[in-house]
């Protein structure tokens, strides 16, 4: 337990400093947006590019892990949509489903998996980050487009979703790195050093940016709605993933642990960004991010002590 706490404490401390800096410190309303832009548009894509470029093809292709991680997130995503669409418009229910199934693999998962599971955990979190953006986020865009424009044809909707996803550097940067890996081409030394230098800023800046985000003053939302999405994210998703990773598809221990740990991560900021993009109700998503991030300090500690 103490080992787990010592690995987790610095990560959540960085989030806490960002939170305190926004609530009571010198950071203004624009600080979160600007730091997040730096992380998602520059530092994190460079980190993912380097990880994928320096990995062996066998390390990247982990079908069992992909199935376990994807099954957990997709199951909860669909379940949350079916529950929430009884009370809210379909487009809002899709955002809520994303909030329940979208793990914060990039901002918290990469540093946490590296601390707890080493290089394999780092690779697992990187694969999960790409899977989350390419699969879950793109699927959400497709479904929201379909809900808002029911007259549009399926090829048009798929094209819009693919274009939106392809423009994201979190998609094309690791894809470019994978080409180096598959082709057996080593990065030139200056490029590798640049990627190492800039990529090293991704994790600490991401954690502080998340703290700035959750520190933003928010309006009130019904507690039962936050409780529903929080319960699905922190308890149901890791339970489903555990069933697949340990029972249905017994994975190697470190990959099984990584899959369950990633499933137990709090909600990432992607659902909030999607809600803002489409002008949907975003306050519930923001509250879910805050609640899951806070509670995950306890739930992840207990989970890793059990595993």
- Specify the pLDDT at position 221: 67
Residue 146 lies in a domain: yes
Cα separation, 293 vs 116, in Å, equals: 18
Residue 89 lies in a domain: yes
- Specify the pLDDT at position 229: 94
Residue appearing with tokens 């994807």: 70
User: Which range of residues forms the domain containing residue 262?
Assistant: 31-213+225-306
Residue 16 lies in a domain: no
Q: Which two tokens stand for residue 37?
A: 């832009």
Looking at the structure of the chain, the number of domains it has is 1
Cα separation, 211 vs 104, in Å, equals: 13
Residue 235 lies in a domain: yes
What is the average pLDDT value for the chain, to the nearest integer? 84
- Specify the pLDDT at position 104: 87
SS3 assignment, position 249: coil
Residue 113 lies in a domain: yes
What Cα–Cα distance (Å) separates residue 154 from each residue in 93, 101, 150, 159, 165?
A: 20, 24, 10, 8, 17
Residue 11 lies in a domain: no
Q: Which of 172, 182, 189, 185 is nearest to 49 (CA)?
A: 172
Residue 269 lies in a domain: yes
**pLDDT tens readout for residues 144-194:** 888 887 777 778 777 777 777 677 787 788 888 888 888 888 888 888 899
CATH number of the domain encompassing residue 293:
1.20.1530.20
Q: Which of 306, 307, 300 is nearest to 7 (CA)?
A: 300
Asked if 135 and 107 count as a contact pair (C-beta separation under 8 A), the reply is no
Average pLDDT over residues 47-52: 82
Residue 123 lies in a domain: yes
Asked if 233 and 59 count as a contact pair (C-beta separation under 8 A), the reply is no
- Specify the pLDDT at position 222: 66
Q: Which two tokens stand for residue 193?
A: 């050093």
Q: Which two tokens stand for residue 196?
A: 């190492």
């Amino acid at each position: 337990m103490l080992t787990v706490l010592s690995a987790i404490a610095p990560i959540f401390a960085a989030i806490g400093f960002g939170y305190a800096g926004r609530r009571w410190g010198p950071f203004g309303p624009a600080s979160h947006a600007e730091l997040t832009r730096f992380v998602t548009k520059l530092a994190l894509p460079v980190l993912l590019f380097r990880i994928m470029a320096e990995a062996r093809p066998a390390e990247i292709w982990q079908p069992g892990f992909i199935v376990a991680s994807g099954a957990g997130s997709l199951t909860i995503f669909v379940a949350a949509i079916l529950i929430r669409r009884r009370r809210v418009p379909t487009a809002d229910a899709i955002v809520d489903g994303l909030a329940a199934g979208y793990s914060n693999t990039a901002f918290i998962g990469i540093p946490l998996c590296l601390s707890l599971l080493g290089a394999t955990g780092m690779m697992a979190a990187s694969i999960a980050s790409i899977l989350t953006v390419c699969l879950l986020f793109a699927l959400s865009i497709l479904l929201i487009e379909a809900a808002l424009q029911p007259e549009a044809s399926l090829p048009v909707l798929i094209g819009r979703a693919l274009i939106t996803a392809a423009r994201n550097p979190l998609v094309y940067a690791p894809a470019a790195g994978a080409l180096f890996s598959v082709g057996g081409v080593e990065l030139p030394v200056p490029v590798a050093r640049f990627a190492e230098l800039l990529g090293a800023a991704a994790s600490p800046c991401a954690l502080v940016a998340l703290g700035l985000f959750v520190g933003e003053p928010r309006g009130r939302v019904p507690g039962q709605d936050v409780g529903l999405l929080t319960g699905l994210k922190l308890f149901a998703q890791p339970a489903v993933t555990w069933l697949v990773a340990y029972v249905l598809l017994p994975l190697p221990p470190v990959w099984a642990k990584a899959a369950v740990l990633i499933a137990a991560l709090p909600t990432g900021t992607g659902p909030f960004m999607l809600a803002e993009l489409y002008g949907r109700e975003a306050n519930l998503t923001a509250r879910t991010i805050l609640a899951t991030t806070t509670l995950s300090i306890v739930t992840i500690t207990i989970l890793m002590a059990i595993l």
